[in-house]
Amino acid sequence: MAKESKCSCSVLLCCTEYETSRTLIVRNKTVGVTNRLIQAIIIGYVIGYVCVVQKAYQDTDSVISSVTTKVKGFAKTNSSDLGLRVWDTADYIIPPQEENSFFVLTNMIVTPNQMQTRCPEVRLPNPSTTCTSDSDCKEGFSDARGNGIQTGKCVDYSDAVKTCEVFAWCPLEKDTDLPEPAMLTDAETFTVLIKNNIRFPKFHFSKRNILPDVTSSYLKSCTFHRITDPHCPIFQLKDIVSEADEDFQDLAIRGGVIGILINWDCDLDLSHKKCIPKYSFSRLDNKNPENSAAPGFNFRFAKYFSVDGVETRTLVKAYGIRFDVIVFGKAGKFNLVPTVVNVGAALSFLSLVNAVSDWVLLTFTSKRHFYSQQKSTYSNATLAVSGTEE
């Protein structure tokens, strides 16, 4: 019964007690300097990082973008397959329109006057195509890496080699002799006009990379230069590749993928004239000297026509540079809600100052035991009043 009575009293006392803070002024250089130093660091963090660097007082929105491109330029080639020829935009931009990218033809392997007929397979060495007799060839068999469907006959490929005959577009393509230097070396002088329209829907703000002070006469003469013409939207292909730390003539042989990066980082609390795009360039496809398998960028296309009523085509294995236009960015504008939330959260670190200062005070100072006694006192107002009345 006595134990139960004591437990009841303890619970009762706990429920009727109230704790309040007590101000204890301590004249100690170590604790005082530590306290002010931590306060200065937190306030510097709030002002310098949260407000200035992170701009936590702003509401933000991501960019929505559309891109159109127009390439111009001429090139001349003189080859055994094509003869003397001038190339314009309709010839070397394949396809004419792509989403946020464009391809420029720089090199090619041409196989002219192909017709659907029978001819010896050319892929060597390959156990599925080389043969010594008809029994080595399977009629109707097709190899995804081959050029056609086998007819079941073993025919002469050369004086020393026989291969399985295939039904395909003949004569077959021979893609082992890639022209070096590239056929369209003049492609480095081509220019591209990039028109980029952007919008930040949350702030009802829109703009384009052709800035308001740009005139038609200026566009006819300007070419992008990072120092002299940083806002010109017309770029020379050689300059783009050079800014990506590549040599255009080397890249033109086997092709590749170059990224044109447009960054819209806008502070809408400032003048809208300061919201301007920043351009950068980078090679996007893998260029690893230790792994040279499947280098560059290429694809095939054909041009069809009729010769004496027979369907004929010219096959082109096209090598070139694909330019991907990548637009990214964000805008910020003052808003009270994120200001209160972010600044308040950062200032909450000030509550740690007293905890750290108390720890230094009660752990490292010579009078720590005295300070510990002064930190907490117990006041029994009921007993004090009763004692006075007696």
Annotated binding residue at 167?
no
| 8 Å CB contact between 113 and 307 | yes
Q: Which of 193, 187, 188 is nearest to 69 (CA)?
A: 193
List C-alpha distances in Å: 174 to 112, 214, 316, 349: 11, 50, 11, 71
Q: What is the C-alpha separation between 274 and 205, in angstroms, rounded?
A: 13
| 8 Å CB contact between 169 and 116 | yes
Annotated binding residue at 317?
yes
Annotated binding residue at 300?
yes
Contacts of 100 (CB under 8 A, 6+ apart): 67, 324, 325, 326, 327
| 8 Å CB contact between 122 and 143 | no
- Beta partners for 256? 321
| 8 Å CB contact between 196 and 83 | no
Annotated binding residue at 28?
no
Residue 261 DSSP class = E
Q: What is the largest CA-CA distance in the chain?
A: 133
Annotated binding residue at 334?
no
Annotated binding residue at 71?
yes
- Binding residues for ATP, as ranges, are 70-72, 191, 298-300, 317
- Binding residues, as ranges, are 70-72, 191, 298-300, 317
